[in-house]
Amino acid sequence: MHQLNIEKNSTIPLPELIDSVVNGDEIVFTENDKPVARLVGVRYEKPVPKFGSAKGLFTLADDFDEPLEDFDEYRQ
């Protein structure tokens, strides 16, 4: 973890700070020796679907694939 005082003009460019947090570092910005902000990298992991996780959440009616009565006139 690195600390940067926001009262002083920092000569570290923003792209360097971003590269640092992408590599796992954390940067804390301080004012009057008190932390005011934190810069951290975002860890995005694509969720992995779990096979069978929806089992039992819904059921299909026995007549699910039967023709609907409302459409009888269109089927003739």
Q: What are the boundaries of each domain within the chain?
A: 1-43
Report the distance separating Cα 30 and Cα 7, nearest Å.
8
Contact present, 4 and 31 (Cβ < 8 Å): no
Pick the CATH number of 1-43 from 3.40.50, 3.30.70, 1.10.3470, 3.40.1620: 3.40.1620
pLDDT band at 71 (very low <50, low <70, confident <90, very high): confident
pLDDT digits (tens, 9 = 90+) for 4-63: 787 766 677 888 888 888 888 999 988 888 999 999 988 888 888 899 988 889 888 898
Q: Report the pLDDT value the prediction gives residue 5, as an integer from 0 to 100.
A: 80
Supply the DSSP string of 25-52, one letter for each residue. Answer: --EEEEETTEEEEEE------PPPPPTT
Q: Is the pTM of this model over 0.75?
A: no
- pLDDT over threshold 80, residue 1: no
Q: Report the pLDDT value the prediction gives residue 26, as an integer from 0 to 100.
A: 93
